[in-house]
Each structure stands twice: as structure tokens, then as C-alpha cells.
Structure 1
Amino acid sequence: MRVALKLAYIGTEFHGSQIQPNVETVEKEIFKALRNLRIIESPKSANYTCAGRTDAGVHALGQIIAFDTDKPNMAIPRIVNSELPPTVWTWAHAEVPFDFDARRSAISRHYRYVMSGEDYDISKMREASKLLLGTHDFENFSRSNGEKSTFRTLERINVRVDGEITKIDVVGNSFLWNMVRKIVTALSMIGKGVRDTDWLIQMLNPEIYEEGIEPAPAYGLTLMGVNYGDNIEWIEDDYSIRRASDQNYKRILRHRVMAEVLGELISTE
């Protein structure tokens, strides 16, 4: 049987999602858990696929992995989670066809970037984001990673303010390396008045205009989900979702306290 899992992780402690030698990665933890539970013998023999790599420090709520197994009763979230660290967890599973490829079968991907919402002209950012919709050459918004084509299609960009936080949602068929984070940088520059929409139009024409911009920090980016249409019937694990919620609420409280402590440390009063 071929099984797909929805995977979430806090990317802060990892050198990205993809397995690499001598460093901590999300896939290292996943492969170890699946082997320890004897769900798979190896990623290669199980025809393991992943919806897409995420960079060091990037998080995920709806990353998708798929693999063949002769123990589908073991390939469920609450069992797999028993072998994973608290910063990585699965929360839904599905039976999928043997030709299902987590990356190639995807219709679209949804990323969200969260940043401080101060001093941005949100109206300008929203207007500028409309120029990015559709199919464009995003070479100026990527780092070369050997892609044959730098053309990508964006379906939706939503910029909204939530208190003191700005959230930017980007949905597209696929993304180049650092593409979302560089889009965030571009929109932020426009929101602060450093650049304008004419510059953004130029950035979408790399044949006549070339400029490198820094990607926004990795810690603000989350892969929210991957869309495969209506072909997959996901079974959510309520226990795993509650367990992850409890563990992360404790982490939230800790960070709130640390934010207050840091505020006191830099206070001049």
C-alpha cells in the first residue's frame, strides 16, 4: 500500500527539510522514525517522495510525504509521532495510488509569511502584489538551483494586517528557491516607499533588468499546505492534533515570557 502523511514541523532547529550528511534535518528524523517502526526499510525501496524542500529555519504545517509500506496500520500519525521529536509531528494520513508523487502530483502550494506590521503602507503592498499574479519569469526572485525554467504561475497573494503583525499568503503552482522570501522583500520595500511598482515591473523582466535582492528571514515562512484536488481522502488524527497543540502552547508561553524579558533587558528606564 502507498501512504501519504501530512507533516508539520518547527524549522528553527533544522538545516532544512531535505536529508543532508552530518546536520540535523526534518527528513533525518522522519527516516529514523519510519525505520525504527519498520514501516519502511529505506526511502529508496519505499519510493519515498516529498512535496518540496524547505530551507533552513522554514516551518511547515502541511508538508506532504508519501511512501510504500506493507504495514499501513503502523503508518498513522499517533504511531509515527511516538518516534519523532516534539518539533516534528504528523497529523493526517491517506491511502494514495501507487503512482502518487508528493511533488509531481501537486496542483498548488500555499506559503504564509509573518512579519512585524509596523511602518508599512499596506495599500501599496496590495496593489503591487497584483502585478505578480499570473505567469512570469521570476529569475530575479530566486537563487539559481539548476532549474531549467524560472517561469512560475502565482494564483493568489493576500496581504493583511493582524494587530501588529503583517501576514502575506502566496499560492502558486510551484516555487523557485527563495522565491517567496524574495517576493516578501520586494513587497516590504514597496510598503516602506524604498521602491515603487515601476521597479517591480522591471524585476519581472530579467532579460532586460537584473537585480539581486536578499530573501526575507527564514523564520517568518511556513508551508501551509499542498493542494492535490479532490483525489485524496485525508483522515485527520484528533489525538495527534491535540497533543501538538498542547506542546506548542507551552512553547508559545515561553516565547512570550522571553519577549518580555528581552524588552526589560534593552529598556533604558
Structure 2
Amino acid sequence: MNYRLLIQYDGTRYYGWQRQNSTDATIQGKIEVVLSRLEGRPVEIHGAGRTDAGVHALGQVANVHLTERPAEEIRNYLNRYLPEDIGIIEVKQVSERFHSRLNASEKVYVYRLATDPALHVFERKYMTPCEEPLDLGAMKEAAAYLVGEHDFQSFCTKKMKKSSVRKLEEIRLEQLLGEIRITYRGNGFLYNMVRILTGTLLEVGIGKLSPEDIPAILEAKERQKAGATAPAQGLCLKEVRY
């Protein structure tokens, strides 16, 4: 039976979502260990996306094939034995054809910058400190160039074997109390793409790049042309849409 899991996690002490042979400190690995114990056999789960080391999630989605049993029983078992920084919000029985990654139509990521870290003592693990003055207007201008369908190879730390074309439906920048919040909504994201987009927008914000530089960066398809990779701690996978 195919089950869909809605998952949230604090990624601080994990080496990302994807299971690795060299460490057991991954989100996928932790969940699979518990489900394998429940089933009495090796179990593999499929996530909607592979968040990087240190990245958090409020709405990661995965699917897994298990022996038929009440969804609430699966959820309770997982939450009993998983570490306290991984939570299963919902378990739901779905069609056998449902695949968390292949069926996803949009993902929403949020990057949080603490412009006054003193106001965010209790959220310091989930925001990136940024006390340097930022030109939010210039950052919004730069973001407008990035929205739409483009080849985002310049914003990826891996050379893609397949297409690096993705479509960004929205980049929203908000000035909040002591914080700038950047929301990215698109049909898919490359490795480190959101963090590099953020790093590039930050360089526009401090005047190192201009908004008008963005088209040339996209056209170059070279990683070194874009800005730095922003730290992982400020990034969160907010939602996966189907």
C-alpha cells in the first residue's frame, strides 16, 4: 500500500535529506530505519526533493510502500521512535501511482535574513544574520529578471547531465520586523539553486552587483558568474504542491 508522508524537520545536525553510505545522519536515513523496524524488512522512501545539509523543512513530502495498516498507526510509530527534530505531520493512504517527486508541480522555499539578530534570539538557527544595509528595491529589480523560464546553470554547483532549465513563478521579497524574507516558488530547483539565487540577490543588495547584471549571469551558464552560496541555515522547504 502506498502512503504519503508530510514531514517537517530541523536540518541543523543532518547532512541533508538524501541517505548516504558514509553517515546515518540524514533525514531519509532516519525515517527508513524506523519504517524498516516497523515492517521487519528494508524500506525505501521517496522524497519530493533533496534538501542540502543544514536546510530545514516545514512541508517535505515523501511516499513509501508499506504493509496495509491504519495511517495513524504509522504516524504514531514514526513519531515515537524518530529524533525530536524530525516530525511526521500526516500519513495518508494514496494511489499506487502517486510519486512524491515525479508528481510534484511546484515547490515553495523561504529564505530568512535577520537584519536585526537581537530580535530573533529564539529563531537564530533558522535565519542567516545580515546586519549590512541592503537595497531592497534593487534586489526586487534583480529578482524580476530571474522570474520565468530560464537555464539556471549559473545558479547550480553541479554540472547538469540533464536540462538545467527551470521555471520560477515568483520571487517575493518582504521587509518584516528585523527580517527580510525571500519566497521562491517554481516547478523545480537545481542543486544549491535557492542558496545561490539568494547569495546573488544579497550581492545586488550591497551594491556588488547591479540588477542589470542578471541577464548576463543567466546567459553565461557559468557558476562563477553568479553570487556566493548563502548559508544553509536560513533556508526552509515550506511546501510541495501537486
User: Normalising by structure 2, what TM-score?
Assistant: 0.87
Residue aligning to 1:53: 50
Look at both structures and tell me which one has the larger radius of gyration over its CA atoms.
Answer: 1
Residue aligning to 1:19: 19
Deviation at 1:207, TM superposition (A): 5.4
Ranges in structure 1 where 5+ consecutive residues have no aligned partner = 229-269
Deviations 1:2-30 (A, max 9, x none): 11010111111001110002311111110
Deviation at 1:42, TM superposition (A): 2.2
Find out whether 1:33 has 2:34 as its counterpart: yes
Residue aligning to 2:60: 63
Q: Report percent identity of matched pairs.
A: 33
Find out whether 1:88 has 2:79 as its counterpart: no
Q: Is residue 5–residue 64 contact of structure 1 (8 Å, CA) maintained in 2? A: yes
Q: 3-state DSSP class of the match of 2:59? A: strand
Distance 1:155 1:200, change over 3 A: same
Residue aligning to 1:248: none
Residue aligning to 2:101: 103
C-alpha separation in 1, matches of 2:223 and 2:94: 44
Residue aligning to 1:176: 190
C-alpha separation in 1, matches of 2:178 and 2:240: 28
C-alpha separation in 2, matches of 1:189 and 1:207: 18
Q: Is residue 173–residue 181 contact of structure 2 (8 Å, CA) maintained in 1? A: yes
Residue aligning to 1:199: 213
After superposing the two structures, state which structure 1 stretch, 100-109 or 189-198, moved more.
189-198
Deviation at 1:189, TM superposition (A): 0.8
Aligned residues: 224
Q: Is residue 145–residue 177 contact of structure 1 (8 Å, CA) maintained in 2? A: no
Alignment of 1:99-248 (within 5 A): 99-117=97-115, 118=131, 119-144=133-158, 146-206=160-220, 211-228=225-242
C-alpha separation in 2, matches of 1:208 and 1:81: 43
Ranges in structure 2 where 5+ consecutive residues have no aligned partner = 116-130
